[in-house]
Chains A and B, each alone.
Chain A
Amino acid sequence: MGTIILNKVRKVFGDVVIIPGADLEIREGEFIVFVGPSGCGKSTLLRLIAGLEDTTSGTISIDGKDMTDAAPGERGLAMVFQSYALYPHMSVRDNIAFPLKMARMPQDKIDAAVKSAAGKLNLTDYLDRKPRQLSGGQRQRVAIGRAIVREPSAFLFDEPLSNLDAALRVNMRVEILQMHQSMKATMVYVTHDQVEAMTMADRIVVLNRGNIEQVGSPLELYNKPNSLFVAGFIGSPKMNLIEDNSLGIRPEHIAVDAKKGEWQGTVKLSEHLGSDTFLHVDAGKRGNMTVRATGESGFGPGDKIFMTPEAGRLHHFNKEGRAVRS
């Protein structure tokens, strides 16, 4: 239960090609994250899977069945929207029960399912409230509750945490991950936040202008980016791309020394985070670089420093922006 296979899926709006052709296999029980800058087509791809948009060409199969032209409700998927999309005129109970009512489940089974979902999400005390009487986090929970009661073959999340404040976001992130572990369900999660992508995903799909740039586990993408785009997108602060974008090195893979090293530069700015210090360095003809020094670094603006890249951590790229591995 829960495999989704996209085969040459293409989406065109008028004259604008949103997704030129996507091939992807989402495995059973996998937590997969679509990530990319805004306008890269990640939400469109999710909506194509959900059936909220029609594919221009290509096929989508879910659990081995061709679902390309099936209505959203027939696909057995559940979706959590960015705006929660709760039904404002219904109580929390009715919101959660809605998909079951649509499936014509008997009332006693609906009641039991709603009760158990509400229990899992700490919503038991709020069942008779209307969505407008709830906080953002509670609304998010109701939206998730509405998704889990159906026991869908896969969950689709469309930037579900972007309307929450930072502290709540971390909590909900953990809750969604725990939910994934206990339910073992396939989850497809869209975000523009690469930290969310790195921390949550089994595999990440990086999208750029509708093209799938790379698919892989978070560490694969971090260690072996296929292209300049992935290299620049994954990791924070960004990878340093120097020597006309032919060479990349992450800030955390450079050792800093006051006396000797391979590259020389002048500190322009230092950012202290407590655990780390980020030095913004002018490295002459190599360009500007960011370097991480662990702990509290004594270097300040104007200081001359020497930098040594860690062995095996250099990334080489050709003129087309593809990675070159020796």
Chain B
Amino acid sequence: MARQDATRKKIAVTILAWALGIAMFFPIFWTAVAAFKTESDAYTLPQNWLSTPWTLENFSIVQERSDYVRYIINTLVIAGLSTILGLAFAVPAAWSMAFAPVQKSTNTRSGRAWLGMILGTAFVMGLLIYLLFGWDLTGNWIFGFIALIIVIVPVGWWVFTRNTTDTLLWMLSTKMMPPAGALIPIYLIFNRNGLVFKDWGWIDLTDWNLMDSFWGMVPLMMLLNLPIIIWMLYTYFKEIPMEILEAARVDGASVWNELWRILLPMGIPGIVSTCLLNLILAWNEAFWTLNLTNKYAAPLSFFISEYSSPEGQFWAKLSAASIMAIAPIMVVGWFSQRQLVRGLTFGAVK
């Protein structure tokens, strides 16, 4: 009986999984089919799913109208470089959190006390600025800088005097904010280089525009995904026994050797799946690329959006462009799905 129940359960789960899979795959299937139809056939409802004349003209038109190779190179540059740059920051960060070479702080203030301190500082400073300057901040970068310090110093203090879990959550919390909320400041920084950095330091950044350039997009993409990379690497590194790193320290390994010869080789599976995930996230990112690129650094998401034009929707061409944009990353994802699933479930946050 028990075995029969188990079989039934298995069948039910299998059916459910397939149903869910098909439901999720259906839009992609529709896109793929529509890409090979004429504009009018693609637009017809109800669809003649498979009984229409097939054509490749959409692809040739898309290829003619926009430079696919350029977009794919831009995407590879942004996704690839941001992943490498992200790893360069995330590996040491995750290492220091997982194996905390600094001893735990003796600070015992509660989170609520800290929140009060942070909000209190901001309020008092705000009040002072209001009383002394009538809250006139416009056009005065010093005030912008002071406002930034008021927020960053107490928050940073809070993060670094408390334990790793707080730091991790704080980093992840930046991903919980709607990106549109940060669009305007980032847009201004990209466009004018003026807000905070004007006349700051020995490089005059005033005419050095970050908008629509790799110099802006690669660090931005890296920063967007950094919390996720750090979090994933952290959970991986947690699985590596601390004693092995300690053995390396006793054996006289420098920090560099400890990271390069011990941690990296042992963490390769985790690092590979983190890279894959980051690559996919960066590849698919649309919000920031649509807002901050235009031509020179525009990636594939921009390429797709070109076919959703004000003159009307060209379903077939839009589909063809979409398929061209997602095909490479789908192939990569398909071949690495085992790695990816392992990476996402392995050492899941406990």
Contact = CB atoms under 8 A, between A and B. Distances in A.
Contacts of B250: 50-52, 72-73, 77-79
Given A73-B252, A79-B247, A102-B253, A15 B103 contact: no
Interface in A22-57: 50-54
A21 interface: no
Given A53-B103, A87-B262, A73 B108 contact: no
Given A73-B251, A87-B248, A103-B252, A81 B243 contact: yes
Interface string A58-92: 00000000000001111001110111011111000
B104 A13 contact: yes
Contact of A72 (B108, B244, B249, B265): B249
Interface in B98-117: 103-104, 106, 108
B139 interface: no
Contacts of A72: 246, 249-250, 252
A15 B251 contact: no
Interface string B217-257: 00000000000000000000000010110111111111001
A102 B257 contact: yes
Contacts of B252: 72-74, 99, 102-103
Contacts of A71: 249
A71 B253 CA distance: 10
A98 interface: yes
Contacts of B251: 73, 78, 98-99, 102, 146, 150
A79 B243 CA distance: 11
A298 interface: no
Of the four ranges (under 10, 10 to 19, 20 to 34, 35 or more), the interface on chain B belongs to 20 to 34
A2 B42 CA distance: 83
Interface string B27-47: 000000000000000000000
A85 B247 contact: yes
Given A73-B250, A73-B251, A102-B251, A89 B265 contact: yes
B266 A83 contact: no
Given A14-B106, A87-B262, A73 B247 contact: no
Given A14-B106, A15-B106, A85-B243, A98 B266 contact: no
Contacts of A74: 252
Given A50-B250, A77-B250, A102-B253, A89 B103 contact: no
A106 B104 CA distance: 39
A238 B266 CA distance: 46
A98 B243 contact: no
A81 B247 contact: yes
Given A73-B252, A146-B251, A85 B108 contact: no
A30 B331 CA distance: 64
B106 A89 contact: no
A85 B240 CA distance: 10
A15 B250 CA distance: 28
A14 B251 CA distance: 28
A72 B251 CA distance: 8
B249 A52 contact: yes
Contact of B103 (A54, A87, A88, A102): A54
B249 A88 contact: no
Nearest to B245: A85
B182 to A, nearest CB: 36
B244 A73 contact: no
A83 to B, nearest CB: 5
B266 A89 contact: yes
A89 B253 CA distance: 16
Contacts of A150: 251
Given A15-B108, A73-B252, A103-B252, A88 B247 contact: no
A254 B262 CA distance: 57
A146 B252 CA distance: 12
B272 to A, nearest CB: 14
Nearest to B107: A14
Interface in B250-283: 250-254, 257, 261-262, 265-266
Contacts of A89: 265-266
A71 B265 CA distance: 23
Nearest to B104: A14
A164 B250 CA distance: 23
Nearest to B265: A89
A78 B250 CA distance: 6
Contacts of A52: 246, 249-250
B171 to A, nearest CB: 23
A323 B318 CA distance: 91
B129 to A, nearest CB: 38
Contacts of A79: 246-247, 250
Contacts of A77: 250
Contacts of B249: 51-52, 71-73
Nearest to A146: B251
A227 B226 CA distance: 57
A89 B240 CA distance: 12
A159 to B, nearest CB: 11
Interface of B: 103-104, 106, 108, 241, 243-244, 246-254, 257, 261-262, 265-266
10 contacts: A12-B106, A14-B104, A14-B108, A15-B108, A51-B250, A72-B250, A79-B246, A81-B246, A85-B246, A98-B251
Given A51-B250, A85-B243, A102-B251, 15 more contacts: A14-B106, A15-B106, A54-B103, A73-B252, A73-B253, A79-B246, A81-B246, A83-B243, A85-B241, A85-B244, A86-B247, A87-B247, A102-B254, A146-B247, A150-B251
Nearest 3 pairs between A and B by C-beta?
A73-B252, A85-B247, A99-B251
